[in-house]
Amino acid sequence: MTVTPQQIEKRLYDLSQEIDSSNEELFAAEHSYNKIKAEYEIAMARTRMALSSKSSPTGKNYTVGEREDMALLENQDLHLRLGIAEAQVKAARANVSRIRTQVDIARSIGTSVRTSMEL
């Protein structure tokens, strides 16, 4: 298969558009992640504070571990949302990296095509 410089230029232009789109998706994913993370941390702190003044059924204060576990159970929906948001950020970063690798490959092919045309 013969590749022309015009095909390479077109591919690089298309990849440039993909990078722009992927960077926008990454920004949105990171914004969502940080918003959910802040909500989660505040909710966890509120729950832990509320539990710090309560006693267990045995009449003793809850341990730090028990308060953490109970706070997590009370905020499990936010915890799940945070995990999903983190996965979306990781996927968006991987996609940006994948596109940048494709740009490097296209540039390498372009150099190879130009070199072979000069010969």
In tens, the pLDDT along 7-35 reads: 999 999 999 999 999 999 999 999 999 99
CB atoms within 10 A of CB 106: 19
Q: Which residues contact 99 (CB under 8 A, 6 or more apart)?
A: 15, 18, 19, 22
- Do 99 and 18 touch, CB atoms closer than 8 A? yes
> Residue 55 carries which DSSP code?
B
Q: Which residues contact 92 (CB under 8 A, 6 or more apart)?
A: 22, 25, 26, 29, 30
pLDDT at 4: 87
More confident residue, 117 or 67: 67
Query: In angstroms, rounded to a whole number, what is the distance separating the alpha carbons of residues 9 and 113?
Result: 12
Which residues does residue 61 pair with via DSSP β-bridges, in sequence order?
Answer: 55
Rounded to two decimals, what is the model's pTM? Answer: 0.82
Reported confidence tier of residue 71, pLDDT bands at 50, 70, 90: very high
Residue 88 has pLDDT above 80, yes or no: yes
